[in-house]
Structure 1
Amino acid sequence: MIRRKKMFSQYYKLRDALKEYREIEKNGGWKTIETDEDYKALKVGDSSDIVAQIRERLFVTKDIKEDNKSAVCDTILMKAMKYYEARHGYTPKNTILLEHINDLNIPVSERIKTIIVNMERCRWIDPELEKGQKYIEVNIPEFKLYIIEDGKIAFISPVVVGRAMTKTVIFSGMMSNIVFSPYWNVPTSIINSEIKPGMAKDKNYLQKKNLEWNNGAVRQLPGKNNSLGLVKFLFPNSSNIYLHDTPSKSLFERESRAFSHGCVRVAKPRELAIELLKVDPQWNPARIDKAMHAGKESWYTLKKKIPVYIGYFTAWVDREGNLNFYKDIYGRDESLIKLLTEE
């Protein structure tokens, strides 16, 4: 008897979702919602044949419990649409926009490909990761960070990831240090592209930007305007990627959050530090706040290193059993599906 290798649990969840979507495909999939060229949006109370089409489409994927064929946009339809938006990487809104209808119109065959691609990605993850009592996972296309403890979600934070030109890399590591009031050691590429031209125009450029020369390199002094914010979280890796705070808080309000040079910016860094340090009674929130605002760099070494996995999943079944799809922000799905389907 051949014993099959045990997989990362997400593999089996996606496999079940694949069966459901293949059944939908077998039954004819879903119809394309037809809109006029001047379509703007729909809100509660609006009446349109488009509403009936949306209702029928949502019923196919069980986002709405019944299809009563009504052409009036009621609160039941809007609630179902918000549920759909939430599990397709959108911030739920009180209006149905064209981008939402375009998403609804993605054919079931494309959704099936996305599920298959992400089942393949599950093969690359060691299932032993889930046996750890506590670990951190970041899903790049979801723009979210999770702490998983004893199989349950203990902490969630929105994140900003690398833009298409400076992609955040996929890897796993072990978090070992938290650095409070950090210096930011400016990468050579930024020194050449931004700082040197700035200095050529203004002799006080470094001072204005809170920068200083440091052994032939440039670093930014600690403080609230530091590019790394007030705290960073280190897990040694060859790409020099880490988690950190940021003074650019407004970016977390965006629906799509691919703006960084490659590192992962955390919306709730103080809360993350508190969560990671709750095992050390000497580090209460007051002491963490003091260290974050000290204006002087200090390092804390974690008593027990924490596994960190930064992954790239455009389809993911959450712990409530909902299948979620996220935009392929780095355009990786197509090349992988080609590899998987080549004869």
Structure 2
Amino acid sequence: MRNFVVSFVIIFLGFTLAIVYHNNNKNNMVKAFAITLSLLKPTDDKSVILINSTIISDFFKKYPDLKKYKSDVSALYKNRNYKSIWYDRKGVIEFASLLYSKANLLNEEGIESNLAYKDKIDGIFGKKSTDKLSPTDTELQLSSLYIFYSKKVFQGIDTKKIRETGWFLPRKNLSYKNLLDSLLINPQLLSKNEKQLFGQYYKLREALKKYRLIEKNGDWNPITTDLLPKEYKLGDSSKTIGQIRQRLAVIGDLKQNSKSNLYDKELMAGVLNYKKRNSMKMDYSINSMLIQRMNTPIEKHIKAIIVNMERCRWIAPEMTKADEYIIINVPSFKLIFKRNSKKELDSDVFVGETMNETVIISSNVTQIVFSPYWNVPNSIIENELIPAISREKNYLEAHNMEWKNGKIRQKPGKKNALGLVKFIFPNADGIYLHDTPSKSLFQSEYRAYSHGCINMSKAKELALLLLKDNPDWPIERIDNAMKGEKETVCILKKKIPIHIVYFTAWANDSGEISFYNDVYERDSRLAELLISDDSK
């Protein structure tokens, strides 16, 4: 079509010039040239490169290692009526250069990967290249680069692989078209885009920069231990104390390193801060367990940051935008309830043991059950209760249990396994959030003891907060319902989102990063998936 227009314009020009020459009028000749040039001038700055489905198909045949991006690239152009994206009348647009620069800095995003035919991309921007690309190939190479970058940074590995890691939270949706539109309007969103990425991602990215710098500077020195004593207390002096002081200064738990080998109050504050942010038992002692934890290789911390950045890519940023929500991080053994972006409760929890892992899901709390029955799962009846009953005839009576419709249930009471209140959120695994009579277990640093449900230390406090504005449930009624005498169900007027997540590294608003035990050993598996994904 374009060739036809050009031919027509040439014929028209010849015809016009003949008339002008015949009339011998210079002014008319100038006007004729102006009319002709206006016909040749593109009417749309973004349509200077010819693109259609056939050209796209031929491109991916020519560059087969980019074929996995074909459907997304094709959809991109179809949505834009096959107008070029990366060219205007001046040439390749400036945003393409910014995208190229960011793609060369993927390491800062915790990604080790290169686009196929990178030498071709380099050639577009004046780097060494064996041959010069045609404008069409340049256009489609840049579109492939955009899809590659967006997948790596804004989306992460595919859903099937995510589920292999035991993560069943809803996957966020990513529109390449909408993302591109926003980036073309505001290119700075390439550096930080909290509408596309969970805010925690950028905090972890800063932590990654910090820990890589520590590694580069050689400041992660091993902490050696004296033979005696086994535990250091306030006032003790040792070379080990000085090494711990140096480490705490490097990672930010101390503002400065006095280089003293004395365990003083300044160091004590740093030790407590380290223990608090890493969910350790809060005491002043420096023992072998603390030193072992602090001697975690920095490479392992860096890997933890990278895999948790990947987890952030899967989460819709809107997840934590609700007016009220509950979030439970399994590795930290912590529950947080937020209302209007303000933390109103944090509670210790214990979660499923390794043979009964707590599932990573999102749901909504719909009911609160006070003084609940515990309907014992069949697996526990078969594996634990039947053998116990065979050894002890009065076992059920002794544990306040009874048979009901061929099942065993535990009656309401203070010794009920669910405690005095449980929170129901629909899920396929039949797990609950609930109180527990086993309060002593919260004193342990490691708290993966349950059959999959989540036991919390401050269950009553959560119930009070969720029913705070419900006039039908004053404190007196809640207290009465929690006496353990009769099961009472409260259906919430407003569903409360609950998210059970798995983060082994987490940075707070001030940039402090916490590292938690990988209780279900999922980090290494995710790291392997990232490597295999990048190798393709």
Q: TM-score range by the shorter chain?
A: over 0.9
**Cα deviation, residue 252, structure 1:** 1.1
Q: 1:134 pairs with 324, 327, 350, which one?
A: 324
Write the mapping of 1:176-191 to structure 2, written as runs, cut at 5 A: 176-191=366-381
Cα distance in 2, alignment partners of residues 224 and 324 from structure 1: 35
Q: Which has the larger radius of gyration?
A: 2
Aligned residue for 1:226?
416
Cα distance in 2, alignment partners of residues 55 and 164 from structure 1: 35
What secondary structure sits across from 1:302 in the alignment?
strand
Cα distance in 2, alignment partners of residues 268 and 135 from structure 1: 16
**Cα deviation, residue 39, structure 1:** 5.0
What secondary structure sits across from 1:96 in the alignment?
coil
- Does the 8 A contact of 2:196 with 2:316 survive in 1? no
Aligned residue for 2:86?
none
Aligned residue for 2:479?
289
Write the mapping of 1:150-169 to structure 2, written as runs, cut at 5 A: 150-169=340-359
**Cα deviation, residue 92, structure 1:** 2.6
Aligned residue for 2:504?
314
Aligned residue for 2:492?
302
Write the mapping of 1:220-299 to structure 2, written as runs, cut at 5 A: 220-293=410-483, 295-299=485-489
**Cα deviation, residue 235, structure 1:** 0.3
Task: Tell me the alpha carbon deviations over residues 115-163 of structure 1, each in whole angstroms, 9 at most, x when there is no partner.
Answer: 1111111122221112211100001111111111121211111111111
Q: 1:31 pairs with 194, 207, 221, which one?
A: 221
Write the mapping of 1:82-161 to structure 2, written as runs, cut at 5 A: 82-161=272-351
Aligned residue for 2:21?
none
**Cα deviation, residue 341, structure 1:** 2.6
Cα distance in 2, alignment partners of residues 36 and 332 from structure 1: 34
Cα distance in 2, alignment partners of residues 139 and 149 from structure 1: 18
Aligned residue for 1:174?
364
Asked if 1:325 corresponds to 2:515, the answer is yes
Aligned-partner residue type, residue 315 of structure 1? A
**Cα deviation, residue 272, structure 1:** 0.8
Cα distance in 2, alignment partners of residues 221 and 88 from structure 1: 38
Aligned-partner residue type, residue 495 of structure 2? K
Cα distance in 2, alignment partners of residues 66 and 29 from structure 1: 14
Cα distance in 1, alignment partners of residues 511 and 489 from structure 2: 40
Asked if 1:71 corresponds to 2:71, the answer is no
Cα distance in 1, alignment partners of residues 528 and 279 from structure 2: 24
- Does the 8 A contact of 1:39 with 1:98 survive in 2? no
**Cα deviation, residue 29, structure 1:** 3.6
Asked if 1:47 corresponds to 2:222, the answer is no
Asked if 1:11 corresponds to 2:201, the answer is yes
Cα distance in 2, alignment partners of residues 226 and 210 from structure 1: 8
Task: Tell me the alpha carbon deviations over residues 238-270 of structure 1, each in whole angstroms, 9 at most, x when there is no partner.
Answer: 011110111111111111111111100010111
Q: 1:22 pairs with 185, 207, 212, which one?
A: 212
Asked if 1:201 corresponds to 2:201, the answer is no
**Cα deviation, residue 294, structure 1:** 5.0
Unpaired runs of 5+ residues, structure 1, are: none
Aligned-partner residue type, residue 143 of structure 1? F
- Does the 8 A contact of 2:363 with 2:497 survive in 1? yes
Task: Tell me the alpha carbon deviations over residues 292-341 of structure 1, each in whole angstroms, 9 at most, x when there is no partner.
Answer: 11511121111010100001111111244321111111111111112213
Cα distance in 1, alignment partners of residues 400 and 294 from structure 2: 48
Aligned-partner residue type, residue 131 of structure 1? K
Of 298-307 and 69-78, more deviation after overlay is shown by: 69-78
Unpaired runs of 5+ residues, structure 2, are: 1-94, 96-179, 184-189
Cα distance in 2, alignment partners of residues 63 and 23 from structure 1: 17
Aligned residue for 2:51?
none
Aligned residue for 2:401?
211
Aligned-partner residue type, residue 282 of structure 1? D
Task: Tell me the alpha carbon deviations over residues 150-206 of structure 1, each in whole angstroms, 9 at most, x when there is no partner.
Answer: 212111111111111111110000110001111100111111122222222333222
* Higher share in strand: 1
- Does the 8 A contact of 1:232 with 1:243 survive in 2? yes
Cα distance in 2, alignment partners of residues 327 and 201 from structure 1: 38
Aligned-partner residue type, residue 483 of structure 2? H
C-alpha distance 221-25 of structure 1, shift in aligned 2 (>3 A):
same
**Cα deviation, residue 46, structure 1:** 1.0
- Does the 8 A contact of 1:229 with 1:246 survive in 2? yes
- Does the 8 A contact of 1:29 with 1:108 survive in 2? no
- Does the 8 A contact of 1:29 with 1:107 survive in 2? no
- Does the 8 A contact of 1:161 with 1:260 survive in 2? yes
What secondary structure sits across from 1:141 in the alignment?
coil
Of 189-198 and 263-272, more deviation after overlay is shown by: 189-198
Cα distance in 2, alignment partners of residues 25 and 202 from structure 1: 59
Cα distance in 2, alignment partners of residues 260 and 114 from structure 1: 25
Of 297-306 and 192-201, more deviation after overlay is shown by: 192-201
Q: How many residues align?
A: 343
